Chain A
Amino acid sequence: MTMLKLRAMLALGTSAFVLAACQGEDAGDTTETIEDDTEETTDNGEDTAEENGEDTEDIDFSIAMITDEGGVDDRSFNQSAWEGMNEWADSHGLSNDHINYYQSDDAQDFIPNLNQAIAEDYDIIYGIGFALLDAISDVAEQNPDMQFGIVDEIVEMDNVVSLTFRDHEAAFLAGVAAAETTETGRVGFIGGISGTVIDRFEAGFRAGVAHVDEDITVDIDYAGSFTDASIGQQIAAVMYSNGADIVYHAAGAVGNGVFTEARNRLESDPDDEIWVIGVDRDQEEEGNWDDGNFTLTSTLKGVGASIESSANLAMDEGFPGGENIAYGLEEEGVDLTRGNLSDEVWDAVEEARQGILDGDITVPEAPDEL
């Protein structure tokens, strides 16, 4: 009763707009019927997709993602997931109606966003990032018939596929590249929010640097954020001023500030030899400036590719629910770009890569294993 009353009073307060909304109700109803239709055909759609293989017209499979607080345009983690979804749609000749993203501005948006996606009946709904662990677990439990995916965390439920990455392997290669390239004997690492995922980056990077030369100093700092570019810029300014010439960031959108700082420095002093190592996707274009490019290299994290391959797997062979699919160098789920690395440095990187693949080098997952 109270609820109804509240609703009535709220409706009074905003009567003009609710009235406006009522006028358009017909339009809303039509979309709902269309959605109902898709709902009915979804089950059949999976079958037809299997039979017809690459025949694109009959595919009725759609996927959606919920970003973490970084937003879909963070030029890093979330964006690479979204790019992967776009590639997935392109490769099947699907229109953009089959993919969608929901942005979260705050942790409290995760669950409403997931429920929005559930209402639209996507076949797989991906939670991008470890921050969505609780939200995905709760919602997956409430909706046992829906299928979910989570990146960077493990949810052991039959309707959730977990996509994890051995980021430390790629970070190790970045460490090798940085140690081989540095002129000052000092490099920097900027993490987002410390925790198991970013720990892998820090541990891998430090181990990679130490693998080349134990005397190289690695400055470590954490932004405590994945979103605030100004903190990234501040930390990078301190690191460069203290003599570091290469800064590796594993901090999502915070990294944009690192690129800004490096660009500002180069523009005021073009002879400065400083570099940034990008993260999660090839951030080479972020490093463009008037006189060249200062992105030394980027560690790649195949978030997009993992989404693509798990969606394909679900379409072709059935949803890999309950599985944890781990991607490392071996699976080409993580990698290092060639970027602006010199031939000698690249040789050293290749050597280290081989060492990891052969099992000669064990890369630590957490800084305290160093």
Chain B
Amino acid sequence: MARKPGETIWSDAGRWLMITLSLVFVLFPIVWLTVASLKTRNAALAVPPELIFTPDFDAYSRIFSGGFLGAFQNSLIIALTNVFLTLLLGVPAAYALTRMRGKVQENLSFWLLSIRMAPLFAVILPLYVLFKSLGLLDTPLAVSMAHLTLTLPLAVWMLVTYFRTIPEDLDQAALLDGANSLQILWLVIIPIARPMLASVAILVFIYSWNEFLLAFILTSRNAQTVPVAVASLAGTMSFDWPLIAAVSVVSMLPALVFVGFAQRHIVSGLGSGAVK
């Protein structure tokens, strides 16, 4: 039996030790946060920590009474709008990129990749000025549009990789049947790509949901998102640790959906542009 790449340096015991350690490192903070969200204010601050306690859901009810429902609503609207815009613009673009040849295609692809490399800070000030002059500051639409800087290149990259695997013969066959380009995309390509589109949508949703800096700069009160709410809570003097923990736990729900649908292309889609 030939050894496989992963076996080259780890023995079996070493490998499992490594896996266990990495899982502890990754999961411990998440577990700890969840536990803290179920404690009363005093219990959360106890040193040494109480390991056995009665779970208390008061922090979660304070999410409602403290007015954080609006932030969740905003985040949801912003992320969903962004997913819609990203797919609406990204799917045809990715399809075009895989069916085009030559210089234009190469340049467009390179340009899309290079957008991933622009420092976010470079676009923030101009976007702030732009949305301010359009009167769109502190609206969900502004944040959704700004998030396109992150999500559109991501979606196009994931989709290009996938569309390449759909043979062009299918296009040709549909063309012979009298379909036009739009019909080919809508009736042939998109139905085939449906599982992939779902993965892209999940990932784009997560990106938009998690994003902080653009949402932070472009909103003040009305369109505040969940990450911005967490940050402003963590900036107050009287710390309500369990409440922040509870808001954080709820904000991790999309991440849990991600783990639940741990299909290969969602996971590897995270490295899009880097992992070819």
A, B assembled together: no
* Residues of B near any A CB (own CB < 8 A): none
